Amino acid sequence: MPDVITSAGEVTPQWLTETLRRNGFLDSGSVESVSLNESRTLTVSIISHLEIEYSRDAPSIAPKRLFLKISNPEFQPGGAREYLPNEFKFYNVVSGLMPDPPLPRCFDAAFSEKAGSTHLLLEDLSETHYHPPPPLPPSLAECEGSVDCLARIHAYWWEHTQLGLSVGKLLSEPAVEQIARASADTFNRFADFLGDRLSGSRRKIFDKVIATFPRPWVRLTQAKGLTLTHGDAHSWNFLYPRESQNGRVYLFDWQTWHVHIGPRDLAYMITLFWYPERRARMEQTLLKRYHQGLLSNGVSNYTWDDCWKDYRWSAIRNLFIPVTQWSRGIAVWLWWSQLEKALLAFEDLNCMELIES
């Protein structure tokens, strides 16, 4: 397995030439220089934008700009792993199975079992694409592009024969029970931490949902109606074309992909990041566009009522995302606002009706 890059400075012309050649992206010529344009340290990774110059005999299609993503050692201490990291597996196993996927091309993905670290060398699309600066919400046109992108990916993987085999895994009944117990235990600690910051009426909402456990996850034990989902499909993980009428939307940052119901990605994007007024204006319009996109891309036996119900069930599960974020030490400004939005969505979507039915 190739050595894992631990800093942008290790991307030398010789290393990059060998890497691109080994992976089939440079059949002639060589890399002459690598320039670092920008580097930033994020919570879980360090990202760098690289500019590449080639010898004259290199093909014109050789990538001129690359995006390097490496593990942040402060977030992920060195040490052996017992499993392959999700994003590494996605680019080495999953992405190549989908024809012409709406993803940045991956030129190399490496994982060091000994160090527990990874690097990804991706296509840098910053000259042709952008994403809106957080926390500014996306425009309607950007939302439509995101929905179309998700519908295309979800439709391809819808009830795919490899789901639960080479692509992701289905939950077993014991796994569902374990998730339910862990979620309930974590919430109790979360509620104790919040004290009177969580009102009695809202505590009752959680208690009623927990009383239905493991029902919210039982659907995930069988492949029917399931697909490959992104898991963190907020608007800033999409890349939108600068020329909106001439380009496609791409989805990146696949660290949390898994097998789930498709509307889960939309519920994550909408109910955890939008306030009620915006949801009231755009929610059903976008979800209907998504449903039509599934049908147009070959999904059958999935009605609008099925889609809407799956979305509402996803909103129920989303109540526990801020709880999990708190337990993992995520910044309070994120999980506190998402807790409020998740509870408002639960009420607006009349989710109590589902758990009481």
For the chain, domains (ranges, CATH) are: 8-123 (3.30.200), 131-356 (3.90.1200.10)
Assign 45 to helix, strand or coil.
Answer: strand
Distance, in Å, from the CA atom of 259 to the CA atom of 231, rounded to the nearest integer, reads 9
Query: Which pLDDT tens digits describe the chain residue by residue (357 residues)?
Result: 458 999 999 999 999 999 999 999 999 999 999 999 999 988 788 999 999 999 999 999 999 999 999 988 877 544 445 455 889 999 999 999 999 999 999 999 999 887 778 999 999 999 999 988 888 889 999 999 999 999 999 999 999 999 999 999 999 999 999 999 999 999 999 999 999 999 999 999 999 999 999 999 999 999 999 999 999 999 999 999 998 667 899 999 999 999 999 999 999 999 999 999 999 999 999 999 999 999 999 999 999 999 999 999 999 999 999 999 999 998 999 999 999 999 999 999 999 999 998
Longest dimension (CA), the chain: 71
What stretches of 158-199 show up as alpha helix (H) in DSSP? 173-194
pTM of the predicted structure, to 2 decimals: 0.93
Helix (H, G, I), strand (E, B) or coil at 281: helix
* Helix/strand/coil for 174: helix
Q: Under the phi-then-psi rule, with left for phi > 0, alpha for psi from -120 to 50, and beta for the rest, what region is 42? A: beta
Q: C-alpha angle with apex 336: 334 to 337, nearest 5 degrees?
A: 70
